[in-house]
Amino acid sequence: APKIVARNVTKTYPTLAGSITALDDFSLDVAEGEFVCIVGPSGCGKSTFLRMLAGLEDISFGTIDIRPGAEPGKPLNSVVFQEYAIFPWKTVIDNVAFGLQMRGVSACERRETARAWLDRVGLAKFADYYPHQISGGMKQRVSIIRALANDPEVLLMDEPLGALDAQTRVVLQDELLRIWEETRKTVVYITHSLDEAVLLGDRVILMSAQPGRRLAIFEIDLPRP
Ligand code: ADP
Ligand code: ADP
C-alpha cells in the first residue's frame, strides 16, 4: 500500500522578475517500508519537494497525501537535515528525547526510549555530553535517532551525510542501512551522490531539470543484496 502519494506537485516562488518554478509536475508514490532516494543536480527541486512532504512549505499545485497507519498518535513525519538540527544547550539524551516530550510521553519512558536508541548507535556513554563535546558524525547520529525515536509514519532526509568527511559518511551509511533493516521505516532520502543512492535505496529517482524546462524523471529499481 502506498504510504506517500504525491501527484503533479508543483512549486513556484514569486520573484521580482515574475516567478520561478522550483518543481514542475512531479509525481511519486512511495510504498510502506520503502527506502526511496532522490538524486539530481543542485537546483532541480529536491529540497523543495522534501519541505513540501514535511509540510514546511505550501504546495502551489498538486497534492501530497501521507497515509497514516492504524496506530494512532504517530507523527506523520520527522526530518533530518544536512546541518545538525540539535539543540546545543541540551544533552545528547535530552536531544533524542525531545520529540517524545512534545508528544506527552512520560519523563521516565522518554529517557528509556532515548537510551535504547543511543545504545543502538553506540552512543550510550555520550548520553550526558553536550553537542559541542562530540564529533560531527556523532551529532548526525543524534539527529537521525532523534527523528526515529518519534516513530514517524515517514522519515525524510535531506543530504543527512552531506557535511561529513568521506570516512565518517561510509560508517553512517552502514549504520543507516542497519537501522533501516531493523525498522523498515518508509524513507525519502535526498542526496547529491548517486553512489550513496544506489547503496541505500530500494528505488532511485533521478531528477533532471533545466531552468524553465520540464522535469525529466528516471526511476531505477534496485535489488537489495
Ligand atoms: P535542490 O534541493 O535540488 O538543490 P531546491 O529545491 O533547493 O533544489 O531549489 C529548486 C529551485 O528553487 C532553485 O532554483 C532554487 O533557487 C529555488 N528556490 C528554492 N527555495 C526558494 C525560495 N524560498 N525562494 C525562491 N526560490 C527558491
Ligand atoms: P540545498 O542545500 O538543499 O541546496 P539551498 O541552498 O537550495 O539548499 O536552500 C537553502 C535555503 O535557502 C532554503 O530554505 C531555500 O528555501 C532558500 N533558497 C534557496 N534558493 C533560494 C532563492 N533563489 N531565493 C530565496 N531563497 C532561496
Task: Reduce the DSSP state of residue 36 to 3 states and report it.
Answer: strand
Average pLDDT, the chain: 92
Model ipTM?
0.69
CA 157 – CA 217 distance, rounded (Å): 20
- Counting ligand 2 atoms within 8 A of each CB, the residue from 12, 47, 189 with the most, and so the one to mutate, is 47
- State in Å: Cα 45 to ligand 1 middle: 6
33-60 burial: b if 16+ Cβ within 10 Å, else e: ebbbbbbbeeebbbbbbbbbbbeebebb
- Counting ligand 1 atoms within 8 A of each CB, the residue from 9, 13, 42, 192 with the most, and so the one to mutate, is 13
What pLDDT does 72 receive? 79
- State in Å: Cα 80 to ligand 1 middle: 18
Q: Tell me which of 67-76, 79-88, 213-222 is least confident.
A: 213-222
Give the burial class of 193: count Cβ atoms within 10 A of its Cβ; 0-12 exposed, 13-18 middle, 19 or more buried: middle
Write the pLDDT tens digit of every residue in 106-131. 999 999 999 999 999 999 999 999 99
- With 70 as the cut, is the pLDDT of residue 214 above it? no
Write the pLDDT tens digit of every residue in 16-59. 988 988 999 999 999 999 999 999 988 889 999 999 999 999 99
What are the phi and psi torsion angles at 181 (to 5°)?
Answer: -65, -30
Task: Reduce the DSSP state of residue 39 to 3 states and report it.
Answer: strand
- pLDDT bucket at 225, cuts 50 / 70 / 90: low
CB of 13 closer than 6 angstroms to any ligand 1 atom = yes
Write the pLDDT tens digit of every residue in 136-173. 999 999 999 999 999 999 999 999 999 999 999 999 99
- With 80 as the cut, is the pLDDT of residue 189 above it? yes
Give the burial class of 166: count Cβ atoms within 10 A of its Cβ; 0-12 exposed, 13-18 middle, 19 or more buried: exposed
What pLDDT does 39 receive? 94
- State in Å: Cα 22 to ligand 1 middle: 5
What pLDDT does 213 receive? 59
Q: Which residues pair with 37 in a beta bridge?
A: 189, 204
